[in-house]
Structure 1
Amino acid sequence: MGGADPVGAALPSAALPSAVASHAVASSAVPSSALARCMTIPAERFAAEYWSKQPLLTPATESGADYTDLIDTAAIDELLSRRGLRTPFLRIAKQGKVIPAREFTRSGGLGARVSDQVADDKVLGLVADGATLVLQALHRNWPPLMRFGAVLNAELGHPVQINCYLTPPQNQGFAPHYDTHDVFVLQVLGRKRWVVHRPVLTDPLPGQDWEQHRAAVAARSAEPPLLDFTLQPGDALYLPRGFIHSAMAHGETSIHLTVGVHPVTRHTLLKHLLADAAGESSLRASLPLGGDLADEARLADQLRETVQAFVAFAGAGRLPQVAGRLADELADSTRPDPIEPMAQLAALAALTPSAGFRLRPGLRVRLERSPDAVLVKAIDTSLSLPLSAESALKLVLSGEPVSAAGLPGLDDEAALALVRRLLTAAILVPEHSA
């Protein structure tokens, strides 16, 4: 942490504990965006002062935020009772322990050959007994949060996941722990007390979870907290990965959203460089024969030569390869806006040169050029198209509305054929559906 104040240098609000700084600017100065709903300071300031560094509390008294349009009790009832929800889209915990899925699921019945469909009556009993519900990955199946998550992902550049926590009065869902991703906590209903401690491991990576440091986490949690405050409806809290936290509902049921931001790190870039390093002969060389290979004095020269070879390898035009691997990883961890398959088929059937289309929102697409073709890559799709389509594809990938008649470098027949292939692959969507 470098000795920096963990909650910033602004004066604390009189309505908050003195340890918690709050920040606000005029709402008219903040653009309408998903990120702006999580804070009131400008995005540039958040990026410079808070991202991956320190917590930030944004009280509803300053932001005027209300998150009930994203989810509420009626939405939770809908998800639990009418959406055929299955594990792992629901987890349930009580007093820090995860409840086995068999205690809140059962067979889907005739026509549904699944054994883990959420049983709403079992859920009711567990919640009445004080258990916490965790509705997971709602950015995948609840439309308001699908839209919110897609916009936030585009603004941050890092993949996001959205969970909803419902905690009965006076109950704690999970013991003090830390996450290996950053989070925005958006309090929807009720009140929840949060206790936050400094990290025992700064910037933990996936695979460096808190259970590996259970004793250190328990010891740190017994110390005076860094922050101890109660989130009210409309309050938002940003916590960087590694900060230890626990939460307990007050005298009413608490509902909050946890927006997890899974950061792309420098370790990620090293991982992709190492994946390519197997193709470099100097990095495949065997160590010399004889003696103790683990002897530090002997190993020092080999390690120095290896680092020098790796630096030379990494600097030898590796950017396209790393960018391609990172693009594949991001495409695999995020999802574009949903399509309407019947609408796509109707658009194909009624295709005309003047019909309008645009790139599917949220879709990560890249072009790769070979001597005789252009490859269009998106998620698990790869289309090989003639070089004559390159200019048209670049226009499509710009995100601007397009029509077959407006595609450069192609005659009418070739332009219609290109649009048809891109529609079939769900890379283009009808303009009215975007």
Structure 2
Amino acid sequence: MTLADLLSPATVVDFVDTTWCREPRLFPGGAAGVSLLDIDGFEALLGALHHAHKGVLHLACGGDRRSLPPTLIDADGMLDLRQVRQMFEGGETLYLTKAHRLSPSLADLCRGVEIDLAEHGVALRESAGAHVFLTPPAAQGFAPHRDEHGSLVVQLDGRKTWRVEESAGTSQPCAVPLQEWAQIRHREFTLEPGDVLYVPEYRGHAARTETVRSLHVTIRLFPLRWRDVLGEILTALPSMNAPVPGARAVDSDALAVELADLLSSPEVRTALPGLLGRLAARRTVRQAVLADGGLGEHGGPKEIDKDTWLVRARGADCHVTTDGGFATIRFPGGAVRGPIGVLPAFEHVAKTRVLRAVDLPGALGPGATVDVVRKLVTDGLLRRARPAEIIELAR
């Protein structure tokens, strides 16, 4: 599943151009019919946790969030699920953090969202992550608050009603006092299974159930900020090492002009696109390689020839850059660099999911193109297409 799936029938272009970082929005039924996680699967995740009380599983009730009591952990460090069920039945919301580390389907979803955003020019300062919330009927786990991340809320089971601040509040994560919350203009959204709600960062929100329980996953999204870009500029450009003029230190207007001139200098304007591109390439998609059956592969790269069908490894995002006479293709877990003549081949790999060495464009000879794909297989960007995938290609 990708971001495009979650938003359907709306498009990622529409989302990025009109909604991203701007306003809350409901996407009805985008995740309908897709099996991400059910309540039995959620309980299975809890049963597999080790030392869940150490920042992994939390409780929340009536706006009060707290860590899991150590008394729920047995001598082997595992959860006592009987006690967990009792606490849930007593009104406690179960809040599981970093669920993408436990669930392959949630890992796939987070990676798919990251890649869709990257392909539409949206960079993230941190990788997307999935947190899961199971709330009993007639309950509100968390008090009104503002987060430093945007959220894609995917309703998996039951029903939950959200109230979301219409206009942006402070640009800091914080709790919203109830007196202030009562004065804020809200929009209300009731989510049914398959619905997806987008909540921008720093937008106050609260949610509660009524007559039925609710299971939802929140995909946390951290947009790249200007402060992140400024940090890249400060590190990369020598002009930023210039001292602040001491004679003007008490003149705020003169200091502002000096800084504005520095930031608008030709050096900064020329370097900014490249700095932003490199920053996005490093941060937008996490570097961990997703499981894709690599341990079960038979036959080494030496058996790959010009006609061997290859596919992009699961969740592998690519970025191609040039540096003088060299081209580099970067992807989760590694990078491959070669002479500039390999650039067309790298660009083809970056935008094509299924390929053969014989299909690679450019002036490389047959032997060189085979060497390129063998290297990309060895480093984990490509893998052999499986028989079922080859049959699908033939249709």
Task: Please say whether Structure 1 and Structure 2 have the same fold, judged by a TM-score greater than 0.5.
Answer: yes
Kindly tell me: are residues 417 and 85 of structure 1, through their superposed partners in 2, closer, same or farther at Cα, counting changes over 3 Å? farther
Kindly tell me: are residues 426 and 65 of structure 1, through their superposed partners in 2, closer, same or farther at Cα, counting changes over 3 Å? closer
Q: Tell me how far apart the structure 1 counterparts of residues 214 and 242 of structure 2 sit (CA, whole Å).
A: 59
Q: Tell me how far apart the structure 1 counterparts of residues 13 and 331 of structure 2 sit (CA, whole Å).
A: 30
Aligned equivalent of 1:358, options 293, 307, 311? 311
Q: What is aligned with 2:273?
A: 319
Alpha-carbon contact 1:68-1:188 (below 8 Å) kept: no
SS of corresponding position for 2:316: coil
Q: Tell me how far apart the structure 1 counterparts of residues 346 and 352 of structure 2 sit (CA, whole Å).
A: 10
Q: Tell me how far apart the structure 1 counterparts of residues 56 and 159 of structure 2 sit (CA, whole Å).
A: 24
Alpha-carbon contact 2:57-2:67 (below 8 Å) kept: no
SS of corresponding position for 1:315: helix
How far is the alpha carbon of 1:406 from its aligned partner? Answer: 4.3
Q: What is aligned with 1:132?
A: 93
Kindly tell me: are residues 330 and 413 of structure 1, through their superposed partners in 2, closer, same or farther at Cα, counting changes over 3 Å? same
Structure 2 letter corresponding to 1:151: G
Aligned equivalent of 1:287, options 240, 244, 248? 244
Q: What is aligned with 2:211?
A: 251
Alpha-carbon contact 2:321-2:327 (below 8 Å) kept: yes
How far is the alpha carbon of 1:247 from its aligned partner? Answer: 1.5
Kindly tell me: are residues 369 and 240 of structure 1, through their superposed partners in 2, closer, same or farther at Cα, counting changes over 3 Å? closer
SS of corresponding position for 2:95: strand
Q: Tell me how far apart the structure 2 counterparts of residues 51 and 229 of structure 1 sit (CA, whole Å).
A: 18
How far is the alpha carbon of 1:391 from its aligned partner? Answer: 3.9
Q: What is aligned with 2:129?
A: 161
SS of corresponding position for 2:291: coil
Kindly tell me: are residues 309 and 224 of structure 1, through their superposed partners in 2, closer, same or farther at Cα, counting changes over 3 Å? closer
Kindly tell me: are residues 107 and 310 of structure 1, through their superposed partners in 2, closer, same or farther at Cα, counting changes over 3 Å? farther
Give unpaired runs (5+ residues) of structure 2.
390-395
Alpha-carbon contact 1:90-1:136 (below 8 Å) kept: yes
Structure 2 letter corresponding to 1:78: A
Aligned equivalent of 1:210, options 167, 171, 174? 174
1:189-248 deviation per Cα after TM superposition (whole angstroms, max 9, x unaligned): 22223233345625x3xxx2114xx5xx44321226523454333443332222211122
Kindly tell me: are residues 418 and 106 of structure 1, through their superposed partners in 2, closer, same or farther at Cα, counting changes over 3 Å? farther
Q: Tell me how far apart the structure 1 counterparts of residues 130 and 246 of structure 2 sit (CA, whole Å).
A: 53
1:133-148 superposed matches below 5 A:
133-148=94-109
Aligned: 1:420 with 2:374: yes
Give unpaired runs (5+ residues) of structure 1.
1-31, 110-114
Aligned: 1:92 with 2:53: no
Structure 1 letter corresponding to 2:309: G
Alpha-carbon contact 1:336-1:364 (below 8 Å) kept: no
Alpha-carbon contact 1:79-1:85 (below 8 Å) kept: no
SS of corresponding position for 1:362: coil
1:182-261 superposed matches below 5 A:
182-199=150-167, 201=169, 204=171, 208-211=172-175, 214=176, 217-223=177-183, 225-228=185-188, 230-261=190-221
How far is the alpha carbon of 1:426 from its aligned partner? Answer: 0.4
Kindly tell me: are residues 351 and 258 of structure 1, through their superposed partners in 2, closer, same or farther at Cα, counting changes over 3 Å? same
Q: Tell me how far apart the structure 1 counterparts of residues 254 and 319 of structure 2 sit (CA, whole Å).
A: 42
Kindly tell me: are residues 367 and 192 of structure 1, through their superposed partners in 2, closer, same or farther at Cα, counting changes over 3 Å? closer
Structure 1 letter corresponding to 2:32: D
Q: Tell me how far apart the structure 2 counterparts of residues 263 and 250 of structure 1 sit (CA, whole Å).
A: 33
- The percent of aligned pairs where both chains have the same amino acid is 21
Aligned: 1:429 with 2:383: yes
1:73-103 deviation per Cα after TM superposition (whole angstroms, max 9, x unaligned): 1211221224668555533323323332453
How far is the alpha carbon of 1:427 from its aligned partner? Answer: 1.5
How far is the alpha carbon of 1:368 from its aligned partner? Answer: 4.2
Kindly tell me: are residues 78 and 348 of structure 1, through their superposed partners in 2, closer, same or farther at Cα, counting changes over 3 Å? farther
Kindly tell me: are residues 260 and 152 of structure 1, through their superposed partners in 2, closer, same or farther at Cα, counting changes over 3 Å? same
Q: Tell me how far apart the structure 2 counterparts of residues 367 and 266 of structure 1 sit (CA, whole Å).
A: 23
Q: Tell me how far apart the structure 2 counterparts of residues 104 and 402 of structure 1 sit (CA, whole Å).
A: 54
Aligned equivalent of 1:393, options 326, 329, 346? 346
Alpha-carbon contact 1:392-1:409 (below 8 Å) kept: no
Q: Tell me how far apart the structure 1 counterparts of residues 252 and 187 of structure 2 sit (CA, whole Å).
A: 46
Structure 1 letter corresponding to 2:236: D
Q: Tell me how far apart the structure 2 counterparts of residues 364 and 229 of structure 1 sit (CA, whole Å).
A: 33
Q: Tell me how far apart the structure 1 counterparts of residues 319 and 75 of structure 2 sit (CA, whole Å).
A: 40
Kindly tell me: are residues 128 and 423 of structure 1, through their superposed partners in 2, closer, same or farther at Cα, counting changes over 3 Å? same
How far is the alpha carbon of 1:177 from its aligned partner? Answer: 0.5
Q: Tell me how far apart the structure 2 counterparts of residues 101 and 351 of structure 1 sit (CA, whole Å).
A: 51
Alpha-carbon contact 1:65-1:235 (below 8 Å) kept: yes
How far is the alpha carbon of 1:167 from its aligned partner? Answer: 0.5
How far is the alpha carbon of 1:178 from its aligned partner? Answer: 1.4
Q: Quick one: higher RCO (CA 8 Å, sep 6+), 1 or 2?
A: 2
TM-score of the pair, normalised by structure 2: 0.79
Aligned: 1:79 with 2:79: no
Aligned residue pairs, count: 378
1:26-105 superposed matches below 5 A:
34-38=3-7, 40-41=9-10, 43-59=12-28, 63=29, 66=32, 69-82=35-48, 88-101=55-68, 103=70
* Larger strand share, 1 or 2: 2
Kindly tell me: are residues 225 and 393 of structure 1, through their superposed partners in 2, closer, same or farther at Cα, counting changes over 3 Å? closer
Q: What is aligned with 1:179?
A: 147
Kindly tell me: are residues 343 and 54 of structure 1, through their superposed partners in 2, closer, same or farther at Cα, counting changes over 3 Å? same
How far is the alpha carbon of 1:311 from its aligned partner? Answer: 0.7
How far is the alpha carbon of 1:328 from its aligned partner? Answer: 0.8
Q: Which moved more, 1:398-407 or 1:423-432?
A: 398-407
TM-score of the pair, normalised by structure 1: 0.73
